[in-house]
Amino acid sequence: MRLLSTKATCDTHGQGSSYFIGWEAYEKNPYDEVHNPKGIIQMGLAENQLSFDLLESWLEKNPDVSGFKRDGKSMFRELALFQDYHGLPSFKKALADFMSDIRGNKVTFDPNHMVLTAGSTSANETLMFCLAEEGDAFLLPTPYYPGFDRDLKWRTGVEIVPIQCTSSNNFQITEPALQQAYQDACKRNLRVKGVLVTNPSNPLGTTMSRSEMNLLVDFIKSQNDMHLISDEIYSGTVFSSPGFVSVMEVLKERNDLKDGDEIWNRVHVIYSLSKDLGLPGFRVGVIYSENDTVVAAATKMSSFGLVSSQTQYLLSAMLEDKKFTKNYIVENQKRLKRRQRMLVSGLKKAGISCLESNAGLFCWVDMRHLLHSNTFDAEIELWKNIVYKVGLNISPGSSCHCSEPGWFRLCFANMSEETLNLAMKRLKGFVVESTSTTQSHRSALFNASSKRNSLTKWVFRLSSRDHHRDQEER
């Protein structure tokens, strides 16, 4: 008889991924400007720390809210008692309005179709439980967030089948790639229940085009039992054109889809305040769906991961302050743009390019020229050198299931400018040293080859001369 469950003893959490291993290396030797200046700099964390001063300033100006008071009277007892897992109506209304504001108010969200969860991790897993059975599959375009191997699969038993996207078209989704993924799933006897995308993309830092989203809507429309999940947790981080277009806006624009069309029941949106407001520790996520059955089921499941009443109360007041949220969104995007340019500039000085991006807290960086061979083994070898020798925790493309070795995700919004500059200085030094070593190795090979060629020519001449003399003697 087993002492523990199969789930407790299985090794399918994904913790063995290089994405998580890099985190472990950082936690054992974290960089600190004063106490550990040679430690590992965390560039594997997609965290937004650039606008904390705006949030802290608002809290200082609203002491009643942060002290859980209303009109000077304590709200503590009310907030401390048992809450309805549907969530505070005031918070859901404020969150729905905030989501609309980020999307330029081109679409609106009905609070009655929102389910609050403890972060987007919980939201994605809950949707898997609602939409699929164990052994069913979702198609995900590559590269994708490494945590999905844990969030979508570990407890649900749902499978992920990659839609292989390549650098030839900047990793955009194509119909042949989508159809190939579907065929791959069928060959594995998997029932495909839908497609999940991140828009803006993690790790690419790019927004999806309308043509890509229409392709996906057409795809699920052609099937009677498929869903489309759009994870839009980075929607407020878009700092350059093209702007962000939500899948809800695409549905609204399509002439062939009217209100009440069943396709609306098969498109779902994930959102959270972890990235746009930089509040991952507050654990605020949301599922938005027009499907009443999904909303009802997800609401019941949300009782296993509620957002605290205190958090909802505080954030509802913050989000209801329209002047603050408008200023925050604009200023935060300006800061993200500036910081992204700093990273791109630093990489360029090191002789490294990256995919042109317009959103997110990271860049998709091309280090293929630093590989000693075009293999994933070479990528991991390069990654280990950068983590353990250079002291930068970055995420290798293989952890994101990229189909091409040599791509890496580097985060830029979770550190100070000084730390980012130090990271770029370290990386540039590594590239110079690596290039010098490679050139020396090639030079040595060339010299050895030249000597061999010279010796071969000398032996050939000597042999030819002896042969000619032998011919004369005969």
Contacts of 141 (CB under 8 A, 6+ apart): 162, 163, 165, 171, 173, 177, 197
Which of the following is catalytic: 145, 182, 313, 328? 145
31 as an active site residue: the answer is no
Total Cβ atoms within 10 A of residue 192: 23
272: closest CA among 235, 299, 229?
235
d(CA 88, CA 212): 36
> Both ends of the chain: CA-CA distance in Å?
92
Residue 339 in tokens:
């910081």
**Annotation marks residue 334 as catalytic:** no
Of residues 464, 124, 436, the one with CA closest to residue 288: 124
Which of 92, 153, 193, 275 is flagged as catalytic?
275
Note if 64 is an active site residue: no
Catalytic residue among 102, 173, 233, 352: 233
Which amino acid type is present at position 199? N
Q: Tokens 């994933």 appear where?
A: 376
Give the pairing of strands 114-117 and 285-289. Answer: antiparallel
User: Does the CA dihedral 294-300-303-306 come out positive or negative?
Assistant: positive
Catalytic residue (one of 231, 276, 366, 386): 231
What angle in degrees, to the nearest 10, is found between the helix axes of 376-384 and 18-28? 10
Strand partners, 365: 354, 408
Q: Is 7 an active-site residue? A: no
Q: Is the peptide bond before 200 cis (omega within 30 degrees of 0)?
A: yes
| Residues belonging to the active site | 145, 231, 233, 275
